[in-house]
Amino acid sequence: MKMHAVIAGVGMTPFGKHMDQGLKALGAEAVRAALADAGLDAGALEAAYVGNAAAGLITGQESIRGEVILRGMGIGRLPVVNVENACASASTALHQASAMVSAGLYDVVLALGVEKLYHEDKRRTFGAFTGAVDVEALADIMRMLASSAKEGGAGTAAEGAGEKRSMFMDIYAAAARAHMHRYGTTAEQFAGVSAKNSLHGSLNPRAQFREVLTVEDVMRAPMVAEPLTRPMCSPIGDGAAAVVLVSERKARTLGLSRPVRVTACVLRSGWDHGPDEESLAELCAREAYEESGVSPADLHVVELHDASAPAELMTYEYLGLCPKGAGGRLVDEGTTKLGGRLPVNTSGGLLRKGHPVGATGIAQIVELTEQLQGRADRRQVADARIGLAHNGGGNIGIDAAATCVTVLQR
């Protein structure tokens, strides 16, 4: 019988603008919280996998980011593996950590994701995202985005990508316009995603934005890149999230009362495929369902990569939560809202919780673990036992560069 990594403890900082805290302080706060939640001291750790995407550009810290953070806490000797994989950095760290535990190499492993994105020079922050594409093809990508915007009558999106905003908002805007053209999806349905997540975020004390928005509020907000208004775009942020993984043997020794198992963690990179062929997210989801033995109908709660509102709606379809083109209907019917059949992004998602890119994937795991253990307070999903996390990163061609899909079960 296959052994699974077990989540012994989770911890995270509030996400937001932490100009007075560096990577070391943010990372230490999350690690200490996860160790305390697990009832372990730092000496129990046998290895650490640390995800970060942009410290080299934002703070100047290169090469030994994980070692610097952990040594600042007095943690040394153990092997530290630094993981960089765009917005999927933290979930990639989790993937590596859980694989090592499942394989029997370690009994207690730390997975940490940490990021600082706020900087006095906004161009440096936007540059962190511009570097998450094939930079040798950057000029061609910019021309393609501008051409797509002009063809779609999107005047705002025709200029300013990578200078006034993350170029990824233009990539998402182009995908949104294509989805609207093909399936009749409306801007109001995208706004419905933002409104839903604002409600969820208002219930999460660690979320960056706590204000509740209506669909009308979202539609009236300033345009970023048609059809995306500001609340349809995830904000940058600073923050950290950590998880302590243990073997099943160690979990029994610790006497964990509500163990949550990692029953699948699938990481894949993109490839050149046609627009109507299986996508990266669909492949990862299919393999995660097969590995865990569950189906979309078995899920109780989902945290997915809503770097934009259209991304959430389209990911419903990639994950098999509804047929292709029917994502808008799930929004209209309230299916993915708290109280609905399958709540999605109960944390507020990237749209409201925030998106410190190197921490995002493990923040999803923190939320799901607390949901499955009945610790999510006012945003608790009743009797949640199976959760799924979807985290993407970077872009090459017509798809993400990397995607990780994880299934957790209590």
The first and second tokens of residue 67, run together, are 């070692």
Q: Please count the other Cβ atoms lying within 10 Å of the Cβ belonging to residue 366.
A: 27
Could you give the CA distance from residue 255 to residue 14 in angstroms, rounded to a whole number? 29
User: Is residue 170 in some structural domain?
Assistant: no
Amino acid at 281: A
pLDDT given at position 145: 78
At 401, which CATH number? Answer: 3.40.47.10
Residue 20's pLDDT is: 92
Is 157 within a domain?
Answer: no
* DSSP string over 4-36: -EEEEEEEEPPPB--TT--HHHHHHHHHHHHHH
By CB neighbour count within 10 A (0-12 exposed, 13-18 middle, 19+ buried), where does 265 fall?
Answer: buried
Is residue 173 within a helix (H) or strand (E), and if so which, with residue range? helix 167-183
For residue 259, cis peptide bond before it (omega within 30 degrees of 0): no
pTM of the model: 0.95
pLDDT in the model for residue 160: 58
Q: Is residue 216 part of a domain?
A: no
104 in any annotated domain:
yes
Distances 220 to 162, 190, 214, 232, 306 between C-alpha atoms, Å = 24, 13, 10, 11, 20
How much is the pLDDT for 278?
96
Cα–Cα distance measured from residue 320 to residue 282, given in angstroms and rounded to the nearest whole number: 8
Residue 160 lies in a domain: no
Cα(346)–Cα(278) distance, rounded to whole angstroms?
28
> Could you give the CA distance from residue 229 to residue 226 in angstroms, rounded to a whole number?
7
> Range of 319's domain?
5-119+236-409
The catalytic residues are: 87, 355
Whether 259 is in a domain gets the answer yes
Task: Name the residue among 277, 305, 330 with its Cα closest to residue 405.
Answer: 305
Q: Which residues on adjacent β-strands are paired with residue 265?
A: 406
Those residues whose C-beta lies under 8 Å from the C-beta of residue 252, and which sit 6 or more positions away, are none
Report how many domains make up the chain. Answer: 1
Q: Is 301 exposed, middle or buried (0-12, 13-18, 19+ CB in 10 A)?
A: buried
Does residue 305 contact residue 390 with C-beta atoms inside 8 Å? Answer: yes
In a domain, 266, yes or no: yes
What tokens does 10 get?
């989770």
State the 10-residue block means of pLDDT for the chain, 410 residues long.
91 96 97 98 98 94 97 97 97 98 97 94 80 83 76 64 72 94 97 98 98 98 95 96 97 94 98 94 98 98 98 98 97 98 98 97 98 98 98 94 98
Domain contains 291:
yes
User: What b/e readout covers 94-132, taking b as 16+ CB neighbours within 10 angstroms?
Assistant: bbbbbbbbbeeebbbbbbbbbbbbbbeeeeebbbbbbeb
